[in-house]
Amino acid sequence: MYSDLLAAAIDRLNATKFLLIITGAGISAESGIPTFRGKDGLWQNYSAEELATPWAFERTPEIVWKWYDWRRGIIGNAEPNPGHIAIKNMESMFPNFFLMTQNVDGLHGRTGIKNMIEIHGNLWRVRCTSEGKTMMLMDVPLKTIPPRCDCGAILRPDVVWFGESIPTAWLEKSFKVMELCDTLIVAGTSGIVYPVASFPQTVKSNGGFVIEVNIEPTPISSLADISLYGKSGEILPMLQKGLKH
Ligand code: BJW
């Protein structure tokens, strides 16, 4: 179905020295996890834009916390899908490899992948709103919604909300790998949330090649060298199987 473009993408990957992959919510869709902007992304009539903000958490912490509980319920029952697994397999096939995911679901980590950052955080981790220290949710007594730190302050999900800055160390790492990579695969993201939305352009400006994988065109499509339209759980395994590395 995709034969010519798929073959061209595989040729490029076979000549690649440093592969960078960026993923978004679409990569986990085939694990049964709703995307943010898809029709299943709404929760009790709230949109992600309304809930994923520090202002929403300040105003109605119980509602935001319950949204995360609802998502953790779905994610806790989900498994990595063939897209996640193909990416994990690619890690061992390239001399240099890095994955940057915007997802907070932890599914990439569950494949055992090592060279990765979760640039928007992880919803299984929490952070003290007073002291800033982080801990795993499973280590916290869940007596109230939201739960509290030993110091008495409310705990929040250790994720990056709209209007918040991505931690400097993660941004620095992102810019470093964008300089080093010669090919970027960007899979399952709508390409509208900054700063990650600008990363494909950064890679292009650095002379890199961009392969997009998505079920539909996005703002990234116009700058991508190759766009492969279809499910990441189908296309990424096809790309990986074509590799000679
Ligand atoms: C499939 C598929 C299948 C489905 N196979 N594909 C510059 C310009 C304009 C605005 C800004 C800017 N700089 C900053 C902003 C503001 C803001 C922003 O970008 N707003 C836009 C909405 C315009 N950005 C920020 O606030 C960021 N902070 C920042 O830049 O700090 C500096 C600063 C601070 C203050 C002022 C100015 C600068 C932080 C952004 C944090 C985003 N956080 C969230 C929540 C994380 C926690 C949580 O999960 O609860 O991150 S929002 C949400 O969007 C989440 C995602 O990671 C992120 C991206 O979404 P993603 O992954 O792309 O999902 P979808 O649903 O949008 O798309 C799914 C895609 O998959 C679709 O394309 C489908 O077609 C596809 N798909 N099934 C393949 N099977």
Give residues with Cβ within 8 angstroms of 125, minimum separation 6: 134, 135, 136, 137, 157, 158
**Domain at 101, CATH number:** 3.40.50.1220
Q: Are residues 115 and 179 in the same domain?
A: yes
Q: Are residues 104 and 204 in the same domain?
A: yes
Phi-psi region of 100 (alpha: psi -120 to 50; beta: other; left: phi over 0): beta
Query: What is the pLDDT confidence band of residue 14, given thresholds at 50, 70 and 90?
Result: very high
Instruction: Give me ligand 1 centre to Cα 82, in Å.
Output: 23
pLDDT of residue 2: 63
SS3 234: helix
- Protein residue with least CA distance to atom 32, ligand 1: 165
> What is the count of structural domains for the chain?
2
Asked if the model's pLDDT at residue 24 lies above 60, the reply is yes
pLDDT digits (tens, 9 = 90+) for 147-163: 999 999 999 999 999 99
Which residues have CB under 6 Å of ligand 1?
A: 24-26, 29-30, 35-38, 41, 48, 52, 102, 104, 120, 159-165, 188-190, 192-195, 213-216, 218, 231-232
Instruction: Give me ligand 1 centre to Cα 16, in Å.
Output: 28
pLDDT of residue 16: 98
Q: Are residues 89 and 66 in the same domain?
A: no
**Domain at 57, CATH number:** 3.30.1600.10
Instruction: Give me ligand 1 centre to Cα 198, in Å.
Output: 11
Q: Are residues 61 and 173 in the same domain?
A: no
Q: Give the position, in ligand 1's atom list, of the atom nearest the Cα of 165.
A: 31
Q: Are residues 112 and 22 in the same domain?
A: yes
Q: Which of 136, 159, 182 is the last residue of a domain?
A: 159
Average of pLDDT values for 189-205? 98
Q: Are residues 114 and 155 in the same domain?
A: no
pLDDT digits (tens, 9 = 90+) for 65-74: 999 999 999 9
Q: Which of 111, 137, 159 is the last residue of a domain?
A: 159
Q: Are residues 180 and 221 in the same domain?
A: yes
Q: Give the position, in ligand 1's atom list, of the atom nearest the Cα of 162.
A: 26
The proportion of the chain whose per-residue pLDDT surpasses 70, expressed as a percent, equals 99
pLDDT of residue 10: 98
Catalytic residues: 120
Instruction: Give me ligand 1 centre to Cα 37, in Å.
Output: 9
CA dihedral 178, 181, 182, 183 (to 10 degrees): -80
Which residue from 194, 198, 218 has its CB within 8 A of the most atoms of ligand 1, so it is best to mutate? 194
CA-nearest of 53, 47, 20 to 35 is: 47
Q: Are residues 38 and 129 in the same domain?
A: yes
What is the domain range of residue 19?
1-30+81-120+167-245
Q: Are residues 23 and 92 in the same domain?
A: yes
Q: Give the position, in ligand 1's atom list, of the atom nearest the Cα of 195.
A: 30
